[in-house]
Structure 1
């Protein structure tokens, strides 16, 4: 049996209260709100209403457990971006949605690029750092690989301002990885690109629209699936494992929360 390593962040509603004040707009991509209907209260009331019974009619006077999710973005928690997230046309063809992607495309050989030595908070991850990290794995990126970027963001919590000032990928860096064959691009950071304030400042200073969300827009040139908010990358070897990215089966969406699991060994 293979060893399973969970790379998925828990979408804990309590983390919404921990989001730094400057980033409250991101609450819906951190976690949903959850209304817990327990067997002795909300679940009991639901069963009595549905079945027209009394609590005394049910085992131990209890109903079922049930939970209501609200205020949840399709990009919530650890999630897979479908190509549609980056635009209507990808490689000149209509962009695929989550429901267009087959599971075999999301069960791929993986490799971890540990770029911690080459990154700075809020700055672009340099291509030379990516190259060095690839060399450190002992093999080249192959067609269809899932390439997971370890930036070191796991050392911060959502209450830390540093959590939101993560190293990010540029368009050039993204195209570098896809040109080598990577079809899944993952990161342990909150997002794939540089932080929004960093990109906005660069755009305002230069007037260059290429500074805006260039990491995501790069897959318009060559299709890839971007996965964000990974965790536990430190538990993986550089290569020699397979990763399953299992998104919720939602129709026609630009993303879906996913359970991401690495399979090590036999």
Structure 2
């Protein structure tokens, strides 16, 4: 079995609308930090100079949102119980794990432009795979956006789905929809411009708001989709981190390909 990494890195050097902050305590600083903590909390004196090279362990502190890097959106991200049609939406630690280790199919949308595509485009993409999507399959959109990860363009130029397109997949029994783009919806600027031109509120975040009608999850910001050997015939594992009470959880998404 081959394991293909489909996760984008969390990198403080990359451009993000909510910048990542990465603070590092070196092993030497970690030794001094541990000595100070031992003194403050336990009244124990310890000289870090007795350690080999005066070093203990490094310590990294990241400040970032739960939607940075490859992550799973939980139903709680889409709205509160006040707006869902099915009651209290699940948070990240409550999600059923069997949703996130499943056969997968990749739909090629690289010929689509910036905006939201509907059911006819999905139907053509599904037909091109030669695969009949089964209930609980993980469906992944290959938009090509992952090539721009780490740049401002990643957040402004990509293909998303309409609410009807999401409902189409949910009708099949899909519980997890993935994308290599920043969002399963069209870019923010595209949606807002279409709303301002038309006054039609339904163009605002329709893919996310579909999760207010029926619970499902998104995997956003997938990476490296060109490395997949085919459109189907493999499984994806994308188990979300148990962030209690959170609307999302980071995931190390991988494809499991049987040789």
Q: Same fold (TM over 0.5)?
A: yes
Q: 1:63 to 1:251 in 2, by over 3 A?
A: same
* 8 Å CA contact 2:161, 2:184 repeated in 1: yes
Which residue of 1 is the match for residue 163 of structure 2?
171
SS in 2 for 1:176: helix
Which residue of 1 is the match for residue 100 of structure 2?
106
Counterpart mapping for 1:15-164 below 5 A: 15=14, 18-19=15-16, 26-28=17-19, 32-40=20-28, 42-51=29-38, 52-70=45-63, 72-89=64-81, 90-117=84-111, 119-120=112-113, 122-161=114-153, 163-164=155-156
Q: Once the 2 structures are TM-superposed, how far is the Cα of residue 189 of structure 1 from its aligned partner?
A: 0.5
SS in 2 for 1:34: strand
- TM-score, normalised to structure 1's length? 0.88
**Count of aligned pairs between the two proteins:** 250
Q: Distance in 2 between matches of 1:179 and 1:13?
A: 39
Q: Once the 2 structures are TM-superposed, how far is the Cα of residue 59 of structure 1 from its aligned partner?
A: 1.8
Structure 2 gap ranges (5+): 39-44
Q: Distance in 2 between matches of 1:260 and 1:139?
A: 22
RMSD: 1.7
Q: Once the 2 structures are TM-superposed, how far is the Cα of residue 5 of structure 1 from its aligned partner?
A: 0.8
Q: Distance in 1 between matches of 2:185 and 2:92?
A: 20
Q: 1:183 aligns with which of 139, 154, 175?
A: 175
Q: Distance in 1 between matches of 2:243 and 2:152?
A: 32
Q: Distance in 2 between matches of 1:78 and 1:176?
A: 24
The Cα offsets for residues 53-82 of structure 1, whole Å up to 9 and x where unpaired, read as 223211221121111122x11112111000
Structure 1 gap ranges (5+): 20-25
Which residue of 1 is the match for residue 238 of structure 2?
245
